[in-house]
């Protein structure tokens, strides 16, 4: 996957995360959105999103709550953003 496509995936992830969090009054930057993804050994953000398990999604929600100084973000909010982002690249 090229650098441009990776940036497109991150932009989509940020947009979908913000759409999911908007009802909570939370708006995150692209850097913050990328920062809560557990990319690790995975070669691309899209592969990271595709590989997420339920446990990973719960962990992302916990990380997001810490990073964004809130307790409002649920695993379901993250699950919705992940599913919508994946749909863009199905």
Range of the domain at 46: 3-88
39 is written with which tokens?
């990319």
Q: How many domains does the chain have?
A: 1
Classify residue 84 by burial, with Cβ atoms within 10 Å: 0-12, 13-18, 19+: middle
**Structural tokens at position 62:** 């916990």
The per-residue pLDDT string of the chain (90 residues; one tens digit each, 9 = 90 and over) reads: 567 989 999 999 999 999 999 999 999 999 999 999 886 656 788 998 999 999 999 999 999 999 999 999 999 999 999 999 999 998
> What is the structure's pLDDT at 41?
54
Among the listed residues 12, 78, 19, the one whose alpha carbon sits nearest the alpha carbon of residue 46: 12
Record the tokens describing residue 68, joined without a space: 């964004």
78 near 60, Cβ under 8 Å? yes
């Amino acid at each position: 996957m090229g650098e441009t496509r990776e940036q497109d995936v991150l932009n989509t992830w940020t947009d979908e995360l913000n759409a999911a969090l908007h009802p909570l009054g939370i708006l995150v930057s692209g850097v913050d959105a990328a920062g809560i993804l557990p990319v690790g050994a995975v070669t691309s953000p899209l592969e990271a999103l595709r590989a997420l398990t339920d446990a990973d999604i719960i962990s992302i929600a916990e990380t997001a709550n810490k990073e964004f100084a809130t307790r409002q973000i649920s695993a379901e909010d993250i699950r919705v953003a992940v599913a919508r982002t994946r749909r863009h690249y199905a």
